[in-house]
Amino acid sequence: MKLFKLSTLGTACRVAWCLPLLALVASEVQAQQAQAERGPLRITPSVRVSETLTDNVTLASKDARQSDWITTITPSLALTGSTAHSQNSLQVSLNSSLYKDDTSRNTNYLTMQALSKLDAFDRKLFLDLQGSISREVVSAFGPRSADGLTGQANQASVQSFSASPYYRMRFAEGGNAELRYTLTQTHSDAANYQNTNAGTWALNAGDPYLTGRLGWSASASDSTTAYSNRRDVHVRLARLYGLLHLSPELTLRLIGGVEGNNYSTTDLDSRTIYGAGFEWKLSPRTRIDGNWEDRFFGAGYNLNAEHRMSRVVFRSTLSRDVSSSNQNGTAAVTMYDLLMTMFASTITDYTARDAYVRQYMQSRNLTDTVLGTQQVLSNGATLLQRAQVSMAIEGVRNTFAVTASRASRRSVTDQTYSLGTDLSSNTQVDDTTGSAILSHQLTPLTSANVDLTMTRSVSDGSSGQAVSLRTRRVSLGLNTRLTKQTSVSCSVRNNKGSGNSEYSENAVVGSVSVQF
């Protein structure tokens, strides 16, 4: 499959983030007839001004540490809305940071999460649009910033945009099929980072209850990823699933297929796939799902378990698979993710649940903290083996979330693809993380928070010497609401690293947030 020219695809994807805004405008026109069923467009502007006093602005070693006073102004805009034909969400912020002692560090950057799902024609033709702009860690062995303001040398901006039109149809009595094409562009300002343009055709079809107890499904995909100055990577996958429904709660799967890729050779290297899986719905709120396959890299597996109650959510993941994501997250999950899952049974509409969760987090001063190993930039494809357990509990006055994760990253492409990243000089990198957040409601308007995160990253020493880094970050905060639209907060933190990067930082942060 031949991709569009990089400039053409790049232009198309760079403007994709604007399209959710157009969809939101269209949804407002339709909101009159759909308001009773879904709800109108919600636009929430806000601004946050914070002052940070840190004793180690660069997260340098003891002899080179420098203090600084940082003023940050962050205007934000949140838009959510849904109609009978669309679901839309946009969160965008402009972060302006001013450094008192060294103005050369002054920065302005956007962060954004945009999602739009459009029913383009008669519940058959759809369009998914996604966009994100974030700041990510460049190396797992460099200093880890607690807020994005310190240790800027180990951070980079990452922009990812995708457009995915697809067609759905039904056949026979219970069969369904979907044909989808996805264009994705990922760009970063990190040195030696391989910007990518990807195009993927995917076909999924099946009849899960063909004869009552027996069913089938099939999937096929053809993907080409173009790198900025490396050869293209081509991947083809096809699987056929045989389904056996032993009961309404338990389904078994047999898997067979073929795959081909040019990760390590210039030509496609084809292999067979075989395996088995199951899905077990123990109750409406408890589910376990898993697959095991023999793949070109050996055993591949994916096991997920989830349990939800009205005030508790538990999630666990165990997997081993190839990840082509440029932001090679190692099982990262956020407070937002857990709360969205927790409230899924009580607020079924996605847009309404999104608005409720964001308001809930704001009222308790819960930031969208990554609970798990922070995403680390990576070029090329990576064999990612990970295990993670996450839990969140909502009480009358307390919200508690805890996550433990372990991940191993190994490149499956030529190391020239990993130029400038951890895997360019190491065959394997292992990451272990533990995170815990507790929010306690002191009064209806005031809450206190405790946040603890510990990480450990270790390389295999293939570069000649093993490299490791341990970090520990703890913060204590207090948040109170002065009016319905205005809140103030104050926090203190300690951020410490040992091993490849030796540093210690203490900081005091105060902020005022106004929602219009």
Supply 23's token pair: 């969809």
Q: How far apart are CA 337 and CA 330, in angstroms?
A: 15
Tens digits of residue pLDDT in 325-365:
554 443 456 677 777 777 776 777 776 787 788 777 777 76
Q: Tell me phi and psi for residue 38, to 5 degrees.
A: -120, -50
Supply 413's token pair: 């492409």
287 Cβ partners below 8 Å, 6+ apart? Answer: 279, 280, 281, 304, 305, 306, 307
**70 belongs to a structural domain:** no
506 Cβ partners below 8 Å, 6+ apart? Answer: 54, 55, 56, 492, 493, 494, 495
**75 belongs to a structural domain:** no
Res. 280: pLDDT tops 60: yes
Residue 240 belongs to domain spanning:
6-64+81-262+269-515
**69 belongs to a structural domain:** no
pTM: 0.81
**21 belongs to a structural domain:** yes
**138 belongs to a structural domain:** yes
Q: How far apart are CA 405 and CA 433, in angstroms?
A: 5
Average pLDDT of span 27-45: 54
pLDDT at 34: 42
Supply 431's token pair: 């990451």
- Specify the range with the lowest mean pLDDT, choosing from 31-40, 116-125, 326-335, 457-466: 31-40
* Domain count for the chain: 1
Per the document, the length of the chain is: 516
**394 belongs to a structural domain:** yes
Q: CB burial class (10 A; 0-12, 13-18, 19+) of residue 507?
A: buried
**105 belongs to a structural domain:** yes
User: With left for phi above 0 and alpha for psi between -120 and 50, is residue 322 left, alpha or beta?
Assistant: beta
The residue with greater pLDDT, 39 or 132, is 132
CA distances from 434 to 372, 404, 470 (A): 7, 4, 12
Handedness of CA 403, 409, 412, 418 (dihedral sign): positive
pLDDT at 5: 39
**73 belongs to a structural domain:** no
Tens digits of residue pLDDT in 60-106:
998 899 999 999 999 999 888 877 788 888 889 999 999 999 999 99
Q: What is the CATH number of the domain that holds 489?
A: 2.40.170
